[in-house]
């Protein structure tokens, strides 16, 4: 497989020669077929097939100043949280013949910025990002370059770009109210790093708000921030359970952390939800599968992806400003949440 190529990659000129037309005509056959008489077109397309020609992407991008490519930067590919939404996003793009370029930032702002610049340099016609919070200078840069950008996973009408997602605060508020209604008074929280993560911040803030509503002492909230991952969730859970007073419920910022917490709970011999309740956020497949099932907040990932794709496509192709959308979430009650043991 590493031998030097035995065949030069065929070019437009090769096709033109073989079909006995000019390169311009070949180009038209490929891009605006109706501007070419049928007979000529057939001859050209035959030559294309004979040669196995396919246009050189770089050259095309250079000449046309479009790439039919949209870039996405997500925090991680390693877990299912973004996979389902992104898959739906991609499927919708494919329908329109648009290629998706995916990069991941490992939840690090400076890496995200680097990836964004790479995608821009690669000529992405539009950008799909997660979460609205980032350096204004970056939005500025994208704006000056005229690159349509859309943010998902949050809905924030005040963001500098259209956002398609849900209200993280009100979603978590619903869940926290339910937890408190169940009688919990000492609430442990495992959150992703809040710095630079607007979703994480909103979720924690919502729990505080619910406690405040219920007249609970803010100190009854016991918080651990941690990196993303099952193991991290497990470690954070263990830390929480050693604090005094011990929480009767541990609310996690996402399902992956929650699953880690639940695993460690079992290892430590706790009964869930008898000794301690656990909740998540996202409703990924894991949440259904673990036992007891995880009480969590359901997010319409696929719908979010599909709508984001449609919106971004029209921003790119029609140059319209783009419109944000707010999607609804709902609390999903499963076995992992119950009243605290008296």
Partner DNA sequence: TTGTAGGCGTTATCAT
Partner DNA sequence: ATGATAACGCCTACAA
| Angle between helix 12-19 and 38-51 (nearest 10) | 120
Is there a contact between 189 and 211 (Cβ–Cβ < 8 Å)? no
Which partner in DNA, a copy of itself, none is near 230 (CB below 5 to 8 A by kind)?
A: a copy of itself
- Contacting range for DNA; rule: CB under 7 A; set: 49-57, 131-139, 196-204, 251-259: 49-57
User: 42, 46, 50, 56: which one contacts DNA (CB under 7 A)?
Assistant: 56
Is there a contact between 150 and 129 (Cβ–Cβ < 8 Å)? yes
Pairing of strands 277-279, 149-152: unpaired
User: 18, 47, 48, 60: which one contacts DNA (CB under 7 A)?
Assistant: 60
Q: Among residue numbers 28 through 47, which ones bind DNA (CB under 7 A)?
A: 28, 30-31, 35-37, 39-41
Distance CA 254, CA 236 (A): 13
Least separation in angstroms between CB 122 and DNA: 12
Residue 158 binds a copy of itself, judged by CB under 8 A: no
User: 147, 190, 224, 250: which one contacts a copy of itself (CB under 8 A)?
Assistant: 147
For residues 167 to 206, the per-residue mask of contacts with a copy of itself, x marking binding by CB under 8 A and - elsewhere, is: ----------------------------------------
Burial level of 3, CB count in 10 A (0-12/13-18/19+)?
Answer: exposed
Is there a contact between 97 and 313 (Cβ–Cβ < 8 Å)? no
Nearer CB in complex with a copy of itself: 211/322? 322
Is there a contact between 35 and 46 (Cβ–Cβ < 8 Å)? no
User: 21, 250, 262, 337: which one contacts a copy of itself (CB under 8 A)?
Assistant: 262
Is there a contact between 266 and 290 (Cβ–Cβ < 8 Å)? no
Least separation in angstroms between CB 57 and DNA: 8
């Amino acid at each position: 497989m590493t031998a030097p190529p035995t065949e030069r990659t065929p070019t437009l000129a090769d096709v033109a020669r073989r079909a006995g037309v000019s390169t311009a005509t070949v180009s038209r056959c490929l891009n605006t077929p109706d501007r070419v008489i049928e007979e000529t077109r057939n001859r050209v397309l035959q030559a294309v097939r004979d040669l196995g020609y396919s246009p050189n992407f770089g050259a095309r991008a250079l000449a046309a100043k479009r790439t039919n490519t949209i870039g996405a930067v997500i925090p991680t590919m390693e877990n299912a949280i973004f996979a389902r939404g992104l898959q739906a996003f991609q499927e919708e793009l494919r329908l329109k013949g648009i290629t998706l370029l995916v990069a991941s930032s490992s939840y690090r702002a400076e890496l995200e910025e680097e990836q964004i610049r790479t995608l821009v340099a690669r000529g992405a016609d539009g950008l799909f990002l997660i979460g609205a919070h980032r350096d204004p200078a970056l939005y500025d840069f994208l704006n000056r370059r005229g690159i349509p950008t859309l943010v998902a996973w949050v809905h924030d009408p005040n963001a500098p770009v259209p956002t398609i997602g849900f209200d993280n605060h009100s979603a978590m508020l619903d869940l926290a109210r339910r937890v408190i209604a169940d009688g919990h008074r000492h609430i442990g929280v495992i959150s992703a790093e809040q710095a630079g993560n607007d979703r994480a911040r909103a979720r924690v803030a919502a729990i505080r708000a619910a406690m405040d509503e219920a007249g609970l002492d803010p100190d009854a909230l016991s918080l651990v921030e941690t990196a993303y991952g099952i193991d991290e969730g497990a470690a954070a859970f263990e830390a929480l359970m050693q604090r005094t007073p011990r929480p009767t419920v541990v609310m996690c910022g996402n399902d992956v952390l929650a699953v880690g917490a639940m695993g460690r709970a079992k290892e430590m011999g706790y009964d869930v939800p008898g000794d301690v309740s656990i909740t998540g956020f996202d409703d990924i497949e894991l949440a259904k599968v673990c036992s007891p099932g995880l009480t969590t907040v359901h997010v319409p990932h696929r719908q979010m992806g599909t709508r984001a794709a449609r919106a971004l496509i029209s921003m790119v192709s029609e140059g319209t400003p783009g419109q944000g959308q707010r999607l609804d979430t709902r609390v999903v009650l499963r076995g992992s949440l119950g009243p605290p043991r008296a």
